[in-house]
Chain A
Amino acid sequence: AQSVTQLDSQVPVFEEAPVELRCNYSSSVSVYLFWYVQYPNQGLQLLLKYLSGSTLVESINGFEAEFNKSQTSFHLRKPSVHISDTAEYFCAVSENTGNQFYFGTGTSLTVIP
């Protein structure tokens, strides 16, 4: 089974500052990688995913993540955060079936005005 580690449980950052949320996974076999965001009292929303191809993937709201196979990492970054980015962020990994996700414990991002 996969193991997903999100190294920071809480990340406070000032508005318009850059942020990086870290994610590492355990296996070097072929995996698919995802970032989900959860706002209070809501379900998970897919932010971005890596399936194959370019190792840098982007979302429509300015987030990007880079797949690094040698370091088994999939860190999430944003160059300038907004208040509305305050939420819980989950990194997830699935193996080649794509049917079962292994989630990290989440990182709570708080954007400070």
Chain B
Amino acid sequence: KAGVTQTPRYLIKTRGQQVTLSCSPISGHRSVSWYQQTPGQGLQFLFEYFSETQRNKGNFPGRFSGRQFSNSRSEMNVSTLELGDSALYLCASKQGAQDYGYTFGSGTRLTVV
């Protein structure tokens, strides 16, 4: 079956703009998480959604937001982009609330100039 699909793969934005990233989980997976990966900070947890509800949120400013739709697809939005937001954004999905071991997508590489 298809894996976790993230679009777009690459994105270049200007400081101050906003951006929306999309994630389609594996069919049947209801839990979606987002992570930010940077060389300096490594992998940091952004938020996790299950059945359209945000269950956990990492330590990121309010400029970072997300949502999940009834078909489990998820989007994350970053407003008022800063240079430091340049990163690989990874989406991961799993089947249920207690199913362990996320499957990750290939990520969206965001560059802010």
Contacts and interface: CB of A to CB of B under 8 A. Distances in A.
Identify which of A43, A51, A103, A104 gathers the most chain B CB atoms within 10 Å of its CB.
A43
B38 to A, nearest CB: 11
Tell me if B's interface is mostly helix, strand, loop or mixed.
Answer: strand
Interface stretch (B11-19, B42-50, B61-69, B76-84): B42-50
Interface string B95-113: 0011111111111000000
B102 A42 contact: no
Interface of A: 32, 34, 36, 41-46, 49, 51, 90, 94, 97-106
27 contacts: A43-B4, A43-B6, A43-B104, A43-B106, A43-B107, A45-B104, A46-B101, A46-B102, A46-B103, A49-B100, A49-B101, A90-B43, A98-B98, A98-B99, A99-B33, A99-B48, A99-B56, A99-B97, A100-B33, A100-B56, A101-B33, A101-B35, A101-B45, A102-B45, A103-B35, A105-B42, A106-B43
